Structure 1
Amino acid sequence: MVIKPRIKGSLALNAHPVGCKKAVEDQIEYVKSSTSYNGAKKVLILGASSGYGLASRISLAFGGSKADTIGVSFEKEGNGRKPGSAGWYNNIWFKEAAEKEGLVAKNFIGDAFSHEMRDEVIKYIKEEFGGEIDLLVYSLASGVRKDPDTGEVYRSQLRPKGVSITGPTFNVEKESIEELTLDPATPEDEANTIKVMGGEDWNLWVDALTEANVVSKGFQTLAYSYIGAEITRRIYREGTIGGAKEHLENTALDLNKKLKDSIGGSAHVAVKRAIVTKASAFIPIFPLYATVLFKVMEEKGIEENAIAHTHRLFTDMIFGDKMEMDDKGRIRPDSWEMREDVQREVMEIYKDITVDNFKELTDFARYKRDFMQLNGFEIDGVDYEADVDLEAMAKLRP
C-alpha cells in the first residue's frame, strides 16, 4: 500500500511506518554525533513513544549513558489494512535500534495511570531489569485519566479562567488561519484538568517504586512542564492547563524533599520549550506564536527541535555542570525561548501578522513540516511512493 497523509483540519488521521523509522534513526544519529554524558543506566520513561518522552529515551540510550530503558505508552496497533499510530512504530524502531547495540529496551503498551501497569513494571524491574532503576522520566500527555482506585474517568479541559478567549490558530489542511474561541472554565473543569494533568499520578508512581524497593540510592525523577510567553499566558499558564502544571510543580517540591530525606534522591520539573505537538493546533494563539518563535530563534542560531533541546537538558543540566534553575526549583532549559531579546522580537513580528501575510512573516513551513513529521511524513530520505507491506508491519511487536 502507498500511504499518503490524511489530514482533516489540524488533525492527522494516519501515520507512515517507514517515515517513523527514519525519524527515530535521525534522532539517534543526532545524539550520537553530539556531546555525550555519563548519566543514568537504568531508566523508566512514562510516555515514551513520542515528543519529549521519546527524545529522552533516545538521548539516554544513545547519547552517552548507554542506558537500558523501559518505556510505557498507550498506542494503537496497526493491521494488514491500515497503519497503527506513529507511537506504535516509534516503540518498535527504538527497540530494534537499541537491541542492535546490546541495550535492553522493554515496551509496555497500556494505561500508565492504572495500578495494574505499575505492578507489571515493578515485577519486570525486579525479575528482569536488574532490580532497580536510577531515573524516572514522567512525560505523559493524555486528555483522559481513569482514577485507579475509584474507576471514575476524568477529562482535562483546555479553557481560560474567568472569561472566554478568542485567538488565531492554524488549519493545517487548508494552510490558513482560523479564529478559535474557548469558553471560560467551570470549577469542575479546573478540578478535572488537575486530576488528569497534575502531579497525582507522578506521585503514585514514585510511591509505588520506592515502596517496592526498586529505586537506587540517589534515584532521580523528572517531569516536564511548560510556562511560555506573556502572549499565551491567559490561555495557558493562567488557564486550566496552568493550574495542572502548578500542581505538578508543587508535587515536585514534595517529592524532592521526600526522596532527599529517604534515599538521597531528587525530583524536579524541567520547563521545556515550545514545539509542535498533536494538540498544539487546538490552543488559540500558541501555534502562531510558535511559528514566529521558530523564525526568531533560527535567525539567532539558537533554534532547537525536540531531540536537540532534550539532549542539551541531559548533557548540560541533569548530568552536566551548566544547571539553570529558578527560585521555585524548576530546571529551565526553556531559557533560550524566554530570553528578553527573543521575546521582544517575537512580539514585534506577531503584532503585524494578518491572515494574508502570515506565511511571509512566520516560519509556517517549519510548523507544517514538524506537524507532518510527528506521523512520519515529509522525512528526508523516505520514498513515499513506495509500497508499504502492512501485513509484514503488523507482525512486528513493540
Structure 2
Amino acid sequence: MSLREIKPGNHGYLYVNSHPTGCRAVVDRMWQQAPEPAGDRPGPVALVIGSSAGYGLAATLVGLRAHRMRGLGIAFESAPTERRTAGAGWYRTARTAELAAEAGSDFTFINGDAFSDSVKEEALDRLAAGFGKVDVLVYSIAAPRRKDPLTGEIHRSAIRPLGTDYRAKTLVFKEGVPQIGELHLPVADEAEREATVQVLGGADWQLWIDALESRGLLADGFRTVALSYVGSDITSPIYRAGTIGAAKQDLEDTARAINTRLKGTGDAYTVVAGAAVTQASTAIPSIALYISMLHRIAGDAWQGTSDQAVALWDQLVGNAELELDDEGRIRLDGWEMDADLQAAVRTAWDRIDTDTLAASADTEWFREQVGQIYGWDVPGVDYEAAVETTVPWPGSPSTDA
C-alpha cells in the first residue's frame, strides 16, 4: 500500500506523473457521456488494441456502456512503484474495468506490448477460451517504437516533413505563460520515413487479422477499424504530407488488403477522426496551437473523443449508415473540416502572434485538457488529499499489505 500526497510533475504541458483519483474522475465523466444501452441484448465480442488512451479509450467506454460489448482490451502501461505513480492509462484502465463490471459487461484487459507475438498469443487464448469469435476489432495504437516480431529489428518513428523542411508557428510556454514560438524541422530521410511506416502503418494491424483468422476467431460479418487522421492544410506539412502521413497511407492500403483477404466475409476501414487533445497528438509540432485555435473558433461545434466514438459505434453495429468518403474511409471529422470553420482558422493562423494569442486561441483550455489526460486539473478532485497509488491492474491480486 502506498498512500501519499502527490503533486504534478510537469514542464509546460508535458507531464511525467499521473494522479489516480483524477484519472478515475476523467473516466467517470467519459462514461457518463456515452448513451445508455437500448434493450438488453448481449453485445458484440470486441477486441480493442490501444484501449487505455485517446480514441481507443473512448471507443472502449462507449462500447461497454452503450453496446454492452464483451471481450478484451490491450494497453501497454507502466506499473506503479514505491517511488513513481503508474502511467495514467494504468489508472484509467483500472476504473474502466470497475465500470464494466458494475454494468455487467464481461470485459478483461491485458497489459503488454501489442506488437509482440507473446501478447497476441495471450489475447487469442483468452478470446478463444472466454468469448469465441470476434465481431469487432478496434485498432488504435500510436507508439514511438515497434519491434518487428519477424526480424527482431526495432523501428523508431520520426515526426518529420517529407520533401522540404518544415517551418511553422508553434505554442510554447515560458515560465507558464503561453507564447508563439517558431519551429524548424529538417526533412526526413528515407530510413526515417520507412521506420515511421513500420511503427504507425498497417503492418501490425495485418498481423492481428492474420492471427485471428489462423485461430478461426473471425465472426461472420466481422468488422475492423484503424484510427487515422487527415486534418487541415495548416498541419498537413508535418502530418498528412509528412512521415506520419506516409504511415497513415500505409494504414489505408492495409485496409484494402484486409478487405481483399476477407473476400466479403468481413470489412476493414480506416476511420478519419477529428482533432483531439490526446497523448499522441500533443507530441506533434504545431498541433497544440492549431487545436487551441480550432477549439476557440469551433465553439459548440467542437466534438470530443467520446462524441466521435458514439458516432463510430453506431456505424459499426448498424444503427447508422456508414459515412464513407470516396476512398472508402469512415469520416468522423466533418465538423472539423467544415469549409467555413477551416477558412476562419486559416485567417486567424496567418495573423496570430504572441500579442493576439489570448484572443485567438484557447491556450488555457488546451493546457487543462493535457493535464486531465494525466489526471490533473480535473474539477472536483482534492489534490491536497493523500491517495493510493499502487492500484492493481484489473484481474491482478491486490497489492495492499
TM-score normalised by L of structure 2: 0.92
Counterparts of 1:379-390 in structure 2, within 5 Å, are 379-390=378-389
Please name the residue that 1:147 is paired with. 148
Residue 171 of structure 2 corresponds to: 170
User: Does structure 2 retain, via aligned residues, the 8 Å contact 1:199–1:248?
Assistant: yes
Alignment of 1:357-376 (within 5 A): 357-376=356-375
Matched residues in 1 for 2:187 and 2:247: separation?
A: 16
Aligned counterpart, 2:233: 230
1:37, 1:320 within 8 Å by CA — same for their partners in 2? no
**Equivalents in 1 of 2:219, 2:14: separation in Å?**
41
> Could you say which residue in structure 2 is the equivalent of 1:73?
75
Do the aligned partners of 1:326 and 1:332 also contact (CA within 8 Å) in 2?
A: yes
State whether residues 37 and 319 of structure 1, in contact with CA within 8 Å, keep that contact through their aligned partners in structure 2.
no
Counterpart of 2:182 in structure 1 is: 179
Measured against aligned partners, the alpha-carbon deviations of 1:227-260 in whole angstroms (never above 9, x if no partner) come to 0111111111111110000000011011123224
Q: Is the CA contact (8 Å cut-off) linking 1:236 and 1:242 kept in structure 2?
A: yes
Deviations 1:115-152 (A, max 9, x none): 111111111111122x2111000001101000001111
Q: Note the C-alpha offset of 1:356.
A: 2.3
Q: Distance in 2 between matches of 1:285 and 1:38?
A: 45
Match of 1:252 among 236, 250, 255: 255
- The 5 A counterparts of 1:40-189 are 41-63=44-66, 65-129=67-131, 131-172=132-173, 173-189=176-192
* Aligned residue in 2 for 1:23: 26
Q: Which residue of 1 aligns with 2:216?
A: 213
Tell me what 2:399 maps to: none
One of 5, 8, 25 as aligned partner of 2:8: 5
CA positional deviation for 1:394:
5.3
Give, in whole Å, the separation in 2 of the partners of 1:26 and 1:381. Answer: 12
Q: Flag the 1:282–1:90 CA change in 2: closer, same or farther, 3 A.
A: closer
Letter paired with 1:340: A
Residue 333 of structure 2: SS of its match in structure 1? helix
Q: Can you list the C-alpha shifts for 1:328-385, whole angstroms capped at 9, x where unaligned? A: 1001111111011111111122222102221221111221111111001111221111
Determine if contact 1:170/1:281 at 8 Å carries over to the other structure: no
**Which amino acid in structure 1 is aligned with residue 305 of structure 2?**
A
Q: Give the deviation of 1:163 after TM superposition.
A: 1.9
**Superposition pairs for residues 318-333 of structure 1, below 5 Å?**
319-333=318-332
- Give structure 1 regions of 4+ aligned residues with deviation exceeding 4 angstroms: 33-40, 394-398
Question: Are 1:38 and 1:319, in contact at CA under 8 Å, matched by a contact in 2?
Answer: no
Q: What is the CA–CA distance in structure 2 between the aligned matches of 1:230 and 1:180, rounded to whole Å?
A: 17
* Separation in 2, partners of 1:319, 1:176: 46
Cα distance per residue 1:208-241 (max 9 Å; x no partner): 1011101211111000100011111111111111
Question: Quick one: distance in 1 between partners of 2:40 and 2:168?
Answer: 42
Distance 1:396 1:147, change over 3 A: closer
Tell whether the 8 Å contact from 1:3 to 1:384 is kept in structure 2 after alignment.
Answer: yes
How far apart are the structure 2 equivalents of 1:175 and 1:36? Answer: 48
Q: Deviations over 1:173-215 (max 9, x none)?
A: 5433332221110010111111111101000000110111012
In structure 2, the CA distance between the partners of 1:205 and 1:395, relative to structure 1 (3 Å rule), is: closer
Identical positions, percent: 35
User: What is the alpha-carbon distance in structure 1 between the residues aligned to residue 96 and residue 257 of structure 2?
Assistant: 33
1:204 alignment partner, one of 207, 223, 247: 207
**Cα distance in structure 2, aligned partners of 1:38 and 1:341:** 42
Contact 2:94 2:393 in 1 (8 A): no
Task: Structure 1: give runs of 5+ residues left out of the alignment.
Answer: none
In 1: Cα distance, 2:359 partner to 2:118 partner: 51
Deviates more, 1:120-129 or 1:136-145: 120-129
- 1:159, 1:239 within 8 Å by CA — same for their partners in 2? yes
**Mapped partners of 1:307, 1:184: distance in 2:** 35
* Residue identity opposite 2:380 in structure 1: G
CA distance, structure 1, for counterparts of residue 182 and residue 64 of structure 2: 42
Residue type of the alignment partner of 2:165: S
> Which structure 2 segments of 5+ residues have no match?
397-401
Q: Is the 8 A contact 1:11 1:278 kept in 2?
A: no
Cα gap change, 1:3 to 1:383, in 2 (>3 Å): same
Output aligned runs, 1:271-310, within 5 Å. 271-298=272-299, 301-310=300-309
The one-letter amino acid paired with 2:139 is: Y
Which shifted more, 186-195 or 360-369? 360-369
Q: For residues 37 and 169 of structure 1, do their structure 2 counterparts lie closer, same or farther at Cα, with a shift above 3 Å needed?
A: farther
Whether the 8 Å contact between 2:50 and 2:73 is mirrored in structure 1 is yes
Superposition deviation, residue 39 in structure 1: 9.3
Q: Distance in 1 between matches of 2:385 and 2:392?
A: 17
Q: Hey, what's the Cα distance between the residues in 1 that align with 2:34 and 2:113?
A: 29
Worse overlay, 235-244 or 96-105: 96-105
